[in-house]
Structure formats: C-alpha cells, structure tokens
Amino acid sequence: MGTSPLATNRITAEDDPPKLLRSEGARERLAKLYAEYARFVGWFASRLLTRPDEVEDVVQEVFLIAATHLDTLTDPPQIRGWLKTVALRRASRKLRWNRVRARFGAPPTIGAGEDVVAAPGASPEDRAALAELLRALDKMPTDLRLAWSLRYMHEENLESVAELCGCSLATAKRRIAAAQARINEEL
C-alpha cells in the first residue's frame, strides 16, 4: 500500500483525477468545493506569492489534489484548514523552485505582486512601499518568508504559524523575528 496523497499532497499516476471524477456525483462535489473555496485559496496564496500566474497555478494544484480526496472532505470547518495547508505547501514549493531557478541564473520571478496584494484604491505611495516589501520578501529564505507572511499578512496567531509551518512555537517566533530584521535592513 502506497503513501496517501493526503499525507504528501502529491498526485500520482494512480490518482488520475479524471478517473476519480467518474464516480457518482464526484464532478458535482468538486464543482461545489471549488465554487465555495476557490476565492479563499486564491486570496491565501496571493499573500504568499507575488505573481498572479503562480497564484493561479497554486489554486489549480490545490483543487487537483482535492479531487483525490473528495470522499474525505466532508467536514466544512476542516476543509478550510486542509485547503490552507495544501495551498501553503504548494506555495512553498513554488518559492523554493524560484530560488533554485535564480541560483542558476533564471530571470527573477518578481512581477505585479503589489497588484495582487494591494487594496483596491491604494495610493501610488502605498503601492511603491508594498512593491519594496515584496522585493524584500522575495530575497529571503522560504521558511522565513512564509512564517512572516502568515503572521503579518494573514494575521495568524503564533500557534497557527507554527502549526502551518510544521515547526515549534519557538522556531516560528525566531523565523518571524529573523524575517522582520531582514525587512528592516532592506527597507
């Protein structure tokens, strides 16, 4: 018996979503899940990533993974948390991949992130400040960036940050403090 996609948040050849969606009512359940939670997943991912195309990729990946778990996604309070965890892991993978690409000379992936995160009607000065913050976040290690973003952009409490990042409370606090120090240096 293989590892469950729930544990790994990976889709394998055995978890072919089209095959899974042929079961009775599966397409309708996935469509309902998507309609109810896609905006939330997109909002959550947009606070972690800077490019709209990456946010869209994460949303699609999250719901592909959700297609493999339709039978287990039945408790509404747990669904939101599960989707948030999957989105965080997918965003983390994108951020790490971006750092690998940058290490080998690929062009930076910074792009119109302030448009994704900025409030409608934000002033040009606020957009410029946000762009500087996003550039500072793009330069830092993924673990620091995610902890800081969860705490200050998502306003998660410290215990939730630690749980979502898969680390102790003390480690979460250290990561947030280190990220803040880097941001203070950069800005």
Domains and CATH numbers, the chain: 1-116 (1.10.1740), 125-187 (1.10.10.10)
Q: Kind and range of the H or E element at 70?
A: none
pLDDT digits (tens, 9 = 90+) for 116-147: 456 667 778 877 887 788 888 888 888 898 89
Please tell me whether residue 87 adopts helix, strand or coil conformation: helix
What is the spatial distance between Cα 141 and Cα 96, in angstroms, rounded to a whole number? 8
* Strand locations in 49-120 (E): none
pLDDT digits (tens, 9 = 90+) for 139-171: 888 889 889 988 988 888 999 899 888 899 999
Total-model pTM: 0.64
Q: In this structure, are residues 171 and 162 in contact, taking their beta carbons and an 8 Å threshold?
A: yes
Residue 137 has which token pair?
């976040």
